[in-house]
């Protein structure tokens, strides 16, 4: 091995003859790192403490893309993909421990945290290593975490400016070799992963890969050392390109590197994709839960999809789906809407759920079930607003921020004691519409049904300056269709009159009777007939 001794007082680092300058830190991201090492030692799990009997443990070694912040609890709006990995594994067969720490490089993790992790590793365990995002900046100052470029055998002795401590710095590839060698000595199985992709795009609309630097070097070391390699960078980048820039935008939070919960879940799923696709990881794949137990349960349809025909989905709250059984029940319009469509051309699948806001419908995985079921040409009617204005993080905890913009706020949810990013009402509507468009479906956003509330002047109270407005703005922002259900049905109720309107509601001023459900369904049909889209209109009777 070739050693280059560098004396900082005499020779500038950038001028060392045999060692290239470190990778430039172009992002200047400041995250919690070794500054909080004492705190993080108390917060991270003791290595191997999750082990059940003689079962193996999957150890995760990485940086903030795997575990954000010192606490890793999402209090900064960011989540690492390591948090979601345990969702994929059978806890009766293997446990997952996330030992990553934000701000660490292959070098700094190896020097400070790896010895503690290694002490907990036993024969038969697995160690996933995804490092490189922070292997940049100076070799000898500030965080002093840079590794030497490439996978060579060069090393460099530096004096850390702030402490005067000397340290030998190795190449990125050499640090990976050390992780591999020491893991194998314990009888465990190392796995290398390329970096998570950033929200960075080429002019041609492709996600920028790390396949010429750290991704390439990790792949090369994996091949050299005959260890499995998961191209996390490439797998997720392909998904991002399918999603498009708008959707990928909210896969990140605060910057273009650190993921939101949405992005962290995508990266975790990509890591699992890599496991399933690798013959070398077949033994680990046997410890995964069946896919059916990871994803939300499949959509339960009231009417099956006809071959080659579109399906109409409805999502919303109790005004869309209620008891819907007996003529004396409360009814939602989604349960009668099918009577207005040609049964030879389509069926209506009512996926609404009483008591839900746009946010809680998403949080509970209900939208994921619809999203997974969508096919090109399907129609999605989207109507929320009745439950979206209440408490956000206490009580029923189903409210959102007001408006239709991009505002967000990180809040601690009282029921779960977990931090969550809360967006505006319109943001959630835009997500539903955007996801539908991505799948080739046709979203139709509706303002929510009017309540049986009247002004002193004898008019039905509208929501045209709140949820009705925000629904319209969200639809327009996504290029989706908008039907002003609130206005159309309110006008009908005014023609009926205040006393007659009582027949159209059940039990209160919000929930409709069967007669009221038909009135709202008829209003939707009226709105659809006014849309400039023959695909939807052709499905009506």
pLDDT in tens, 286-338: 999 998 677 766 566 656 788 999 999 999 999 999 999 999 999 999 999 99
| Biggest CA-to-CA distance, the chain | 93
Average pLDDT on 394-412 reads 97
Closest CA to 95 of 124, 150, 146, 57: 57
| Of the candidates 339, 312, 310, the residue with the CA atom closest to the CA atom of residue 324 | 339
Q: Do domains 3-15+31-290 and 312-537 have the same CATH topology?
A: yes
Do the beta carbons of residue 133 and residue 65 sit within 8 Å? yes
**Tens-place pLDDT, residues 426-447:** 999 999 999 999 999 999 999 9
DSSP labels, 255-317: SSSSB-HHHHHHHHHHHHHHHHH-GGGHHHHTTBPPHHHHSPPPP--SSPPPTT---EEEEES
Classify 124 in phi/psi space as left (phi over 0), alpha (psi -120 to 50) or beta. left
Q: Is 509 a catalytic residue?
A: no
- Residue 29 confidence (pLDDT): 55
**Quick check: 151 pLDDT over 60?**
yes
363 given a catalytic annotation = no
Query: Taking the domains of the chain in order of start, what are their residue ranges?
Result: 3-15+31-290, 312-537
Spatial separation of the C-alpha atoms in residues 22 and 14, rounded to whole Å: 8
3-15+31-290: CATH topology is: Rossmann fold (3.40.50)
Active-site residue, from 99, 133, 258, 511: 511
For the ranges 1-10, 94-103, 403-412, 455-464, the lowest mean pLDDT is seen at 1-10
From 260, 270, 318, 357, active-site residue: 318
Q: How far apart are CA 378 and CA 381, in angstroms?
A: 10
pLDDT at 87 over 50: yes
Q: Phi-psi bin for 328: left (phi > 0), alpha (psi -120 to 50), beta? A: alpha
Q: Are 317 and 382 in contact (CB under 8 A)?
A: no
Are the beta carbons of 476 and 488 closer than 8 angstroms?
A: no
**Predicted model pTM:** 0.90
- 511 as an active site residue: the answer is yes
As a whole number of angstroms, the distance between CA 67 and CA 254 comes to 15
In terms of phi and psi (left: phi > 0; alpha: psi -120 to 50; beta: otherwise), the region of 421 is beta
- Number of Cα atoms under 13 Å in the Cβ half of residue 220: 13
Alpha-carbon Rg for the chain in angstroms = 28
CATH architecture of residue range(s) 312-537:
3-Layer(aba) Sandwich (3.40)
Residue 32 has pLDDT above 50, yes or no: no
Q: Is the pLDDT of residue 33 over 70?
A: no
Residue 366 has pLDDT above 50, yes or no: yes
At 464, give phi and psi (nearest 5°).
-70, -15
Mean pLDDT of the chain: 92
């Amino acid at each position: 091995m070739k050693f280059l001794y560098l004396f900082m007082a005499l020779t500038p680092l950038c001028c060392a003859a045999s060692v290239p300058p470190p990778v430039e830190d172009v992002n200047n991201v400041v995250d919690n790192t070794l500054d909080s090492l004492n705190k993080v030692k108390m917060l991270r799990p003791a290595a191997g403490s999750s082990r059940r009997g003689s079962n193996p443990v999957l150890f995760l070694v990485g940086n903030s893309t795997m575990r954000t912040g010192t606490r890793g609890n999402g209090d900064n709006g960011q989540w690492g993909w390591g948090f979601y990995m345990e969702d994929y594994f059978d806890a009766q067969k293997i446990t997952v421990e996330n030992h990553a720490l934000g701000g660490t490089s292959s070098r700094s993790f190896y020097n400070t945290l790896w010895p503690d992790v290694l002490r907990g590793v036993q024969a038969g365990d697995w160690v996933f290593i995804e490092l490189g995002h922070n292997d940049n900046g100076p070799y000898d100052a500030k965080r002093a975490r840079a590794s030497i470029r490439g996978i060579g055998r060069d090393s460099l002795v530096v004096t850390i400016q702030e402490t005067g401590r000397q340290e030998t710095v190795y190449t990125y590839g050499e640090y990976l070799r050390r992780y591999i060698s020491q893991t194998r000595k314990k009888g465990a199985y190392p796995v290398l992963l390329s970096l998570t992709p950033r929200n960075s795009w080429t002019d041609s609309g492709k996600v920028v890969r790390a396949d010429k630097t750290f991704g390439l070097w990790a792949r090369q070391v994996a091949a050299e050392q005959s260890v499995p390699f998961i191209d996390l960078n490439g797998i997720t980048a392909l998904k991002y390109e399918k999603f498009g820039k708008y959707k990928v935008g909210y896969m990140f939070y605060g910057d273009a590197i650190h993921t939101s919960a949405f992005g962290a879940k995508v990266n975790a799923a990509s890591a699992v994709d890599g496991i399933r696709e690798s013959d070398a990881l077949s033994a680990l794949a046997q410890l995964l839960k069946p896919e059916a137990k990871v994803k939300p349960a499949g959509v339960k349809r009231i009417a099956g999809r006809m071959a080659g025909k579109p399906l109409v989905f409805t999502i919303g709250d109790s005004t869309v789906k209620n008891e819907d059984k007996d003529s004396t029940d409360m009814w939602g319009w989604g349960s009668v809407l099918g009577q207005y469509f040609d049964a030879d051309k389509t069926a209506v699948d009512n996926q609404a759920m009483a008591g839900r806001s746009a946010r809680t419908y998403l949080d509970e995985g209900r939208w994921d079930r619809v999203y997974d079921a969508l096919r090109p040409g399907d129609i999605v009617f989207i109507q929320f607003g009745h439950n979206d204005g209440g408490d956000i993080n206490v009580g029923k905890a189903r409210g959102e921020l007001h408006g239709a913009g991009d505002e967000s706020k990180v809040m601690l949810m009282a029921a779960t004691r977990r931090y969550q990013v809360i967006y505006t009402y319109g943001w959630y509507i835009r997500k539903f519409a955007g996801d539908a468009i991505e799948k080739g479906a046709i979203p139709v956003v509706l303002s929510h049904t009017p309540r049986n509330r009247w002004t002193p002047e004898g008019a039905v109270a509208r929501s045209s300056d709140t949820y009705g407005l925000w629904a319209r703005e969200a639809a327009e922002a996504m290029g989706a269709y908008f039907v002003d259900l609130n206005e159309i049905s309110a006008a009908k109720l005014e023609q009926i009159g205040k006393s007659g309107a009582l027949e159209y509601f059940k039990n209160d001023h919000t929930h409709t009777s069967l007669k009221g459900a038909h009135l709202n369904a008829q209003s939707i049909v009226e709105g659809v007939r006014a849309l400039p889209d023959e695909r939807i209109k052709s499905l009506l009777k």
